Amino acid sequence: QVQLVESGGGSVQAGGSLRLSCAASGRTFGYAMGWFRQAPGKEREFVAGINWSSDGTRYADSVKGRFTISRDNAKNTVYLQMNSLKPEDTAVYYCAAANSAFYYVANVYNKWGQGTQVTVSS
């Protein structure tokens, strides 16, 4: 059974940076990994995805050029480096996993972490 635990959330001023981490346990060989977020009163949205070999990544338009997803399979960990943060990035960020090659398709993700809060003040 795959378990995901996020860390690294917090509060930051606009223009600042944060790095989220997601530690995975269980069988995750070959899994796609992704990050989603949900702001108050809004639906959860896809932020970024990465394939097993890290040669495929996909980003939401709203974060392109500012966020970078990466993974270390030896450590079973996926990261989300967030730079140039904006108040509209404020949300609970969720790590997700999928036993799928389609890392860029939001609805393949079916394993979820508990979420970590990111708050960006202006």
* pLDDT value of position 99: 95
At 49, which amino acid appears? Answer: G
CA distance 108 to 50: 13
Of the candidates 32, 40, 36, 38, which has an alpha carbon nearest to the alpha carbon of residue 20? Answer: 36
* pLDDT value of position 81: 98
* pLDDT value of position 115: 97
The mean pLDDT values, 10 residues at a time, for the chain of 122 residues are: 96 98 95 97 97 97 98 97 98 97 94 98 96
* pLDDT value of position 110: 96
Percentage helix, strand, coil for the chain under 3-state DSSP, each rounded to 5: 5, 50, 45
